[in-house]
């Protein structure tokens, strides 16, 4: 039978109900297949920059990052890495690609980028106030200043950076890296009012700004009101305040025995900082089980490598005082139990209380928002938990002139979420200032380009490395523990970076199926190493998932469904397990499969300026 005859063969037609053919023109479809980019709040095109690093195109890789996440050098050291648990490599072996530390490689090795910075357009007469000088406000400034906005950043500290400066210790984030990326934005003509704490939003509203962005973070550390708290005030420190005091040089020592309360990343920064300021016996004591600690696993590992002990399932009960001074913290031991509603409760074990002698306590049990400076009669509503009512898409408050982002909008998150919020708020502020509908969002830029260079040749490297994840080398702790400014992580060198980059599966190089070319020879089915291609009868999705050669049980991942083919079957591919190896496209005799690179760039304020 010829191909033409085959195409003309009787199509049995769709049987209802059945699963609709996939619309690959929907930008979200292939975006979701790029697991890391989909999971990144700023939607950084990760595989694009990883390939550039493999080709030693560090400047280009830096710029891909800078466009979307604004702070590649900072985030390459400090990001909470929501992309890595999502990484496809983590589904074929234990460890994901070291996406975050590859970002740092781009920052460490890049060349000059001044000529790649956006041109600063003529002033458009609009003034925008950004309250707080952290990552959310700086992102708003970066997006709006080049478009002609006069942006004024207020911060109570003497320099920009917000929590990146005051809460992240220099041994994780060197000051020079921070300054360079912050100053680059300030150099876009941003007016700074540092050492200026805003104490009244009403005053700022009366100052003739066209829009106001609030990016003040979650600046209040939680206190612990247990017996003895007032008496031990001199040796009890709120973690984020103490870190800030260390960062600005006001605190340079601590007692030999230190208890850190809390199990998040702030607790890890506190204990490691304490080790550098004189703490010899430093314990992190957390009420939850070890495996549910909030800190990132790598932060916990780094603390343990510096001989910090972690005690779990301990609830602080009271402080012991001797000679008017803190002597110890008393803990009740608990263990987790699941109640009738399936909720986990920490239940006392009935064992003797645990007494932990100490000289100082660092309290890192959480952070809260705090808006005493926002008047309640300015049309800005507050809702649950005394948080401002903020639209989740536009970041606009109920006072249309005031926008929120970062931790100030919805509570504590992290730097990369603050950046993502900043981009979206900048879009809204631009629309608001230009009297456009803030609900009109600029669409993403999307391209899909064939990677075919010859019969069996692709312009991407589809022969994937089987290596396990490479570890980032650390400096000798005999030195790093003696110098609070000495960076612990040395970063990948070029060879390690290349080897790590080669672990990436290129999830953005998509398998694109053209059903009119398919002759249903099933050659792709035979060659696929993970059995993710199927030619079967269409049916409702739940059935379809079970009818595949390997059932598709990860409901988060899509099925690629073709139209009904001449024999009445459909091509069904489970995107979950595809390795993007290209073997299906190499084997296909009619080029019904092609490997096409999908590039997705999230819309930003500059894109809607072009559209206007």
Q: How many residues can be counted in the chain?
A: 612
- Total number of residues that touch ligand SF4 (CB under 6 A): 30
Min dist CB 43 to ligand SF4, Å, is: 12
Examine residue 104 and tell whether it contacts ligand SF4 (CB under 6 A): no
Examine residue 314 and tell whether it contacts ligand SF4 (CB under 6 A): no
Phi-psi domain of 78 (left: phi exceeds 0; alpha: psi -120 through 50; beta: other)? alpha
Min dist CB 45 to ligand SF4, Å, is: 9
Query: x-or-dash pattern for ligand SF4, window 514-543, by CB under 6 A?
Result: -------------xxxx-xx----------
Nearer to ligand SF4 among residue 261 and residue 571 (C-beta): 571
Give the residue from 568, 565, 559 showing the smallest Cα distance to 590.
565
Cα separation of 469 and 191, whole Å? Answer: 44
Examine residue 581 and tell whether it contacts ligand SF4 (CB under 6 A): yes
Q: Which two tokens stand for residue 411?
A: 């509570």
Q: Which of 42, 70, 74, 99 is the binder for ligand SF4 (CB under 6 A)?
A: 99
Q: Which two tokens stand for residue 31?
A: 């975006």
Cα separation of 607 and 604, whole Å? Answer: 5
Q: Which two tokens stand for residue 126?
A: 């609009």
Nearer to ligand SF4 among residue 267 and residue 504 (C-beta): 504
Other Cβ atoms within 10 Å of 497 Cβ, number: 26
Cα separation of 566 and 584, whole Å? Answer: 20
CA distances from 482 to 171, 244, 252, 253, 266 (A): 11, 19, 12, 12, 21
Min dist CB 490 to ligand SF4, Å, is: 22
Q: What is the DSSP string of 40-106?
A: STT---HHHHHHHHHTT-HHHHHHHHHHHHS-HHHHHHH---THHHH-THHHHSSS---HHHHHHHH
Q: Which of 36, 214, 286, 572 is the binder for ligand SF4 (CB under 6 A)?
A: 36
Q: Which of 505, 518, 552, 592 is the binder for ligand SF4 (CB under 6 A)?
A: 505
Place of tokens 């199927």: 534
Min dist CB 507 to ligand SF4, Å, is: 3
Give the residue from 523, 522, 595 showing the smallest Cα distance to 565.
522
Q: Which of 75, 215, 582, 592 is the binder for ligand SF4 (CB under 6 A)?
A: 582
Helices (H), 187-333: 201-205, 239-247, 265-276, 297-305
Contact of 508 with 495, CB cutoff 8 Å: no
Applying CB under 6 A, the span of 87-95, 275-283, 288-296, 563-571 interacting with ligand SF4 comes to: 87-95
Contact of 525 with 533, CB cutoff 8 Å: yes
Examine residue 548 and tell whether it contacts ligand SF4 (CB under 6 A): no
Helices (H), 434-530: 477-480, 494-501, 523-527
Cα separation of 198 and 206, whole Å? Answer: 13
CB neighbour burial string for 137-146, b if at least 16 within 10 angstroms, e if fewer? bbbbbbbbbb
Element (H, E) at 600: strand 593-601
Nearer to ligand SF4 among residue 360 and residue 602 (C-beta): 602
Q: Which of 53, 74, 507, 564 is the binder for ligand SF4 (CB under 6 A)?
A: 507
Min dist CB 530 to ligand SF4, Å, is: 5
Applying CB under 6 A, the span of 94-102, 274-282, 353-361, 436-444 interacting with ligand SF4 comes to: 94-102
Examine residue 101 and tell whether it contacts ligand SF4 (CB under 6 A): no
Applying CB under 6 A, the span of 51-59, 84-92, 129-137, 253-261 interacting with ligand SF4 comes to: 84-92
Min dist CB 449 to ligand SF4, Å, is: 16
Contact of 380 with 399, CB cutoff 8 Å: yes
* Residue list 6-35, contact with ligand SF4 (CB under 6 A): 34-35
Contact of 73 with 26, CB cutoff 8 Å: no
Examine residue 41 and tell whether it contacts ligand SF4 (CB under 6 A): no
Q: Which of 105, 136, 295, 578 is the binder for ligand SF4 (CB under 6 A)?
A: 578
Min dist CB 94 to ligand SF4, Å, is: 13
Displacement of CA 236 from its chain's centroid (Å) = 32
Nearer to ligand SF4 among residue 19 and residue 511 (C-beta): 511
Q: Which of 97, 130, 138, 416 is the binder for ligand SF4 (CB under 6 A)?
A: 97
Examine residue 52 and tell whether it contacts ligand SF4 (CB under 6 A): no
Nearer to ligand SF4 among residue 96 and residue 215 (C-beta): 96
- What angle is formed at CA 129 by the lines to CA 127 and CA 132, rounded to 5 degrees? 160
Min dist CB 36 to ligand SF4, Å, is: 3
Return residues touching ligand SF4 (CB under 6 A). Answer: 34-36, 46-47, 87-89, 96-97, 99, 504-507, 511, 527-530, 532-533, 573, 578-584
């Amino acid at each position: 039978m010829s191909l033409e005859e085959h195409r003309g063969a009787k199509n049995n037609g769709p049987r209802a109900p059945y699963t609709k053919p996939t619309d690959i023109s929907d930008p979200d479809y292939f975006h979701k297949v790029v697991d890391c980019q989909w999971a990144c709040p700023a939607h950084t095109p990760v595989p694009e920059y990883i390939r550039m690093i493999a080709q030693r195109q560090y400047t280009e890789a830096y710029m891909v990052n800078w466009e979307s996440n604004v702070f590649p050098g900072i985030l390459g050291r400090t990001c909470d890495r929501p992309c890595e648990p999502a990484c496809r490599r983590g589904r074929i072996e234990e460890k994901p690609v070291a996406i975050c530390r590859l970002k740092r490689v781009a920052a460490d090795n890049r060349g000059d980028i001044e000529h790649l910075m956006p041109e600063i357009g003529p002033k458009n007469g609009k003034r925008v106030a950004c309250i707080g000088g952290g990552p959310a406000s700086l992102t708003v400034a970066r997006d709006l200043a080049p478009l002609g906005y006069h942006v004024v950043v207020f911060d109570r500290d003497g320099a920009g950076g917000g929590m990146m400066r005051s809460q992240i210790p220099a041994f994780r984030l060197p000051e020079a890296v921070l300054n360079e990326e912050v100053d680059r934005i300030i150099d876009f003509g941003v007016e700074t009012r540092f050492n200026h704490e805003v104490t009244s939003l009403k005053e700022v509203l009366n100052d003739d700004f066209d829009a106001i962005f609030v990016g003040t973070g979650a600046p209040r550390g939680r206190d612990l009101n247990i017996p003895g708290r007032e008496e031990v005030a001199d040796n009890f420190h709120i973690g984020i305040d103490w870190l800030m005091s260390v960062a600005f040089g006001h605190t340079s020592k601590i007692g030999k025995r230190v208890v850190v309360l809390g199990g998040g990343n702030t607790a890890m920064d506190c204990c490691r900082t304490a080790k550098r300021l004189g703490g010899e016996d430093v314990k992190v004591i957390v009420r939850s089980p070890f495996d549910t600690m909030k800190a990132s696993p790598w932060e916990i590992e780094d603390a343990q490598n510096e001989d910090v002990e972690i005690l779990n399932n301990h609830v602080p009960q009271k402080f012991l005082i001797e000679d008017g001074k803190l002597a110890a913290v008393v803990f009740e031991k608990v263990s987790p139990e699941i109640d009738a509603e399936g909720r986990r409760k920490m239940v006392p074990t009935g064992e003797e209380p645990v007494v932990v002698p100490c000289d100082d306590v660092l309290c890192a049990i959480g952070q809260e928002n705090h808006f005493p400076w926002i008047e309640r009669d300015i049309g800005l509503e507050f809702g649950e938990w005394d948080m401002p009512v903020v639209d989740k898409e536009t970041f606009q408050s109920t006072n249309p002139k005031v926008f929120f982002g970062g931790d100030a909008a919805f509570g504590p998150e992290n730097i990369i979420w603050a950046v993502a919020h900043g981009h979206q708020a900048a879009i809204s502020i631009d629309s608001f200032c230009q009297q456009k509908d803030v609900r009109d969002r600029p669409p993403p830029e999307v391209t899909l380009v064939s990677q075919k260079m010859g019969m069996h040749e692709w312009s991407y490297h589809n022969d994937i490395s089987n290596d396990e994840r490479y570890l980032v080398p650390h400096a000798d702790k005999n030195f790093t523990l003696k110098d609070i400014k000495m960076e612990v992580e040395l970063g990948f060198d070029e060879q390690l970076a290349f080897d790590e980059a080669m672990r990436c599966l290129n999830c953005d190089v998509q398998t694109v199926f053209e059903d009119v070319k398919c002759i249903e020879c099933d050659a792709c089915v035979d060659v696929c190493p993970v059995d993710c291609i199927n030619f079967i009868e269409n049916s409702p999705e739940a059935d379809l998932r079970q009818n595949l050669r390997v059932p598709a049980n990860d409901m988060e991942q899509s099925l690629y469904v073709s139209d009904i083919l001449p024999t009445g079957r459909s091509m069904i591919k489970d995107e979950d397990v595809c390795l993007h190896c290209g073997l299906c496209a190499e084997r296909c005799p009619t080029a019904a499969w092609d490997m096409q690179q999908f590039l997705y760039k999230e819309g930003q304020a500059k894109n809607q300026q072009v559209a206007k």
